[in-house]
C-alpha cells in the first residue's frame, strides 16, 4: 500500500509526533510506502483565499467553488494544493494525525481540508460519499485528547466521541469518498506516565498491524438517499 | 449591549458579508455598540504556533497550554491575541458569522479560536462550561450552508444540524462560558433567487431584533457532572 500521513503538530517531541514516527516505522517495516505531509514543517498555508488561484476567472467576485472547478480545468490551482492532491490520488490509505483542539481539527489541518479538497477533485454533482472523488481509498483519524476517556460518552461532559468526530469522519473523509476506519484515540497522554504512554504507543502499534482487518464505519451510500437527501424508508431503523 | 461580530468570509459581496452588514446596521440602530473582527480583512494569523509567545518559558519543548498560562501572567502573549481577548471581555454578545465549510468552521475562524481562547483566559481548572472564563456573556452562530435544509436532519444525508454544530456550540462557545443562543442558519443562499435571499435577510433581521427574548441552548452546568465528568444520576433523562 501507499499511505499518506497528514501530521498536524508543531512539536517534534510531542505524543502526536511519536505516533506519526511509530506509524512511519511500522508501516514501512510492513513493506508499505509512506509519505508524510508535516503541515507545520511545511508551513502549510491554512487560509483558503483568492490567492489559491493563479488566475481568477471572476476577479470582481470570489465564488470559491466556481474558481476551484475552473482552476482544475485550466491548471491554475496553487502549486501547494496540487501537490497534496497528487499525494491523495497516489494513496491507498490516508491517516490524519492531530491533537483534538476545541473538539475539532487544528486550524492548519482544517485549512488543508478547506484548500485541498476542491470541487471537481474531491466532490461534485453526484460525486460524494461512496461516490466521492477519492473513492476506493481508506482513511483513519489518529488523535490525542486533553481530557480523559470517561468524559467522551453520551452522558459525559465532552459528549460522545462518535458525535464529536461525525462532522470530520462523515462530513469530510466520507464526503470525499474516503472510507473511514474506526478512529484511534489516545486519551490525555499529557496526563499519563511514561509507562502509560508507552502502552498507548504499543496499542497504536497493534492497530497499525491490523489495518487490513478493520471494517470501515457503516455510513450509508448515496443510493440509500432520495432526491431530497433523505434516507429511503427501507433504510430507516 | 456591546456586541462583537467575528466575520470569516473574504468576499465583500457574499451573503455572509450581507448578513454581517445587516447585523451591524440593525444592532447599531437599536443603540448597541458593535465591534467587528473581519478576520480576512485583518489577515488574521490562523495557525497556532510557538510565535504566539513573545518569550518562551520552555524553548526546548512547546507545551502550548503551559506557555499560554505563562504568557498571560508575564504579558508576553502575541499582540493580536491580546486585542481579540480584550474585545471578548468587553462584549456582552459574540456573533460568529461564517460559511459552514466541511461541516465546520473555516480554518481562519478555527484558528481564531485555537489562538485566542487561551488557557487561563477562556478556561482552566474548574473554569469551563457555565464556569468558563467568558461567563456572563452570550454567543450566537450565524452561518450559511451550501446544501439545502432537508439534508440537515437525523435521517438526512448531512446529519442533523444540532449534531454538526455540537462541537462548536458546546465544545467551544459553552466550554468558554459563553451561553449559546439558538444558531441562525441560512441554507444554500448560493442556490437561491435574489428574492429568496432578501427574505432570508429579513428573517435574520427579525432574529436580530429578538435577541433579548431568546433562551440559551439548555446545556448542563458543571455542577451536574460528577468527578469523572459523568452526568449525575438525577440529570439522566
Domain ranges of chain B: 2-235
Point out which residues pair with A141 in neighbouring strands.
Answer: A96
Is residue A237 predicted with pLDDT exceeding 80? no
Assigned fold of B2-235: Rossmann fold (3.40.50)
pLDDT tens readout for residues B10-56: 999 999 999 999 999 999 999 999 999 999 999 999 999 999 999 99
Residues in chain B: 237
* Rounded average pLDDT over A90-111: 98
Return the C-alpha cell found at B144.
450559511
pLDDT above 90 for B237: no
- Confidence bin at A101 (pLDDT 50/70/90): very high
Q: What is the DSSP string of B115-155?
A: HHS-BTTTBBTTBSGGGSTTTT-EEEEEEE-SS-GGGSSTT
Interface predicted TM-score (ipTM): 0.97
What would the mean pLDDT of A51-77 be, rounded to a whole number?
Answer: 92
If you ran DSSP here, which 8-state letter would residue B220 be given? P
B4 strand-pairing partners? B35, B94
- Is the per-residue pLDDT at A167 higher than 80? yes
pLDDT band at A231 (very low <50, low <70, confident <90, very high): very high
pLDDT for the residue numbered B162: 96
pLDDT in tens, A1-19: 999 999 999 999 999 999 9
Helix H or strand E encompassing B164: helix B161-168
Name which of B65, B102, B229 is nearest A114 (Cβ-Cβ).
B102
Average pLDDT over residues B120-124: 96
Under an 8 A CB cutoff, do A62 and B155 touch? no
Pick from A132, A167, A226 the residue to mutate for testing the B interface (most B CBs within 10 Å).
A167
Beta-carbon separation of B228 and A10 below 8 A: no
pLDDT digits 0-9 by tens, B131-184: 999 999 999 999 999 999 999 999 999 999 999 999 999 999 999 999 999 999
Q: What is the mean pLDDT of chain B?
A: 96
- How far is it, in rounded angstroms, from Cα A48 to Cα A113? 9
pLDDT digits (tens, 9 = 90+) for A113-134: 999 999 999 999 889 999 999 9
Q: Which of B110, B220, B228, B232 is the mutation pick for testing A, counting most A CBs within 10 A?
A: B110
Question: In this structure, is the dihedral angle defined by the CA atoms of residues A99, B40, B136 and B66, taken in order, positive or negative?
Answer: positive
Phi, psi of A12 (to 5 degrees): -65, -20
A104: nearest CB among B50, B104, B228: B104
Q: B106 and A48 in contact by Cβ < 8 A?
A: yes
Average pLDDT of chain A is: 96
- pLDDT band of residue B69 (cuts 50, 70, 90) is very high
Amino acid at each position: 500500500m501507499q499511505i499518506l500521513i497528514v501530521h498536524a503538530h508543531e512539536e517534534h517531541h510531542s505524543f502526536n509526533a511519536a505516533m506519526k514516527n511509530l506509524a512511519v516505522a511500522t508501516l514501512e517495516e510492513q513493506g508499505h510506502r509512506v509519505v508524510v505531509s508535516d503541515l507545520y514543517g511545511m508551513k502549510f498555508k491554512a487560509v483558503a483565499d483568492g490567492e489559491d488561484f493563479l488566475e481568477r476567472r471572476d476577479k470582481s467576485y470570489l465564488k470559491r467553488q466556481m474558481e476551484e472547478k475552473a482552476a482544475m480545468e485550466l491548471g491554475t490551482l496553487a502549486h501547494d494544493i496540487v501537490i497534496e492532491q497528487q499525494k491523495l490520488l497516489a494513496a491507498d490509505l490516508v491517516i490524519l494525525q492531530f491533537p483534538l483542539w476545541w473538539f475539532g481539527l487544528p486550524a492548519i489541518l482544517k485549512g488543508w481540508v478547506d484548500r485541498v479538497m476542491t470541487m471537481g477533485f474531491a466532490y461534485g454533482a453526484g460525486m460524494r460519499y461512496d461516490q466521492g472523488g477519492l473513492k476506493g481509498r481508506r482513511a483513519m483519524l489518529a488523535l490525542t485528547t486533553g481530557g480523559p476517556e470517561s468524559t467522551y460518552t453520551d452522558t459525559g461532559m465532552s459528549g460522545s466521541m462518535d458525535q464529536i468526530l461525525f462532522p470530520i469522519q462523515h462530513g469530510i473523509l466520507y464526503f470525499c469518498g474516503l472510507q473511514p476506519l474506526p478512529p484511534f484515540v489516545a486519551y490525555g497522554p499529557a496526563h499519563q506516565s511514561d509507562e502509560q504512554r508507552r502502552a498507548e504507543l504499543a496499542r497504536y502499534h497493534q492497530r497499525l498491524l491490523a489495518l487490513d482487518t478493520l471494517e470501515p464505519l457503516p455510513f450509508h451510500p448515496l443510493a440509500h438517499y432520495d432526491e431530497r437527501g433523505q434516507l429511503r424508508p427501507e433504510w430507516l431503523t
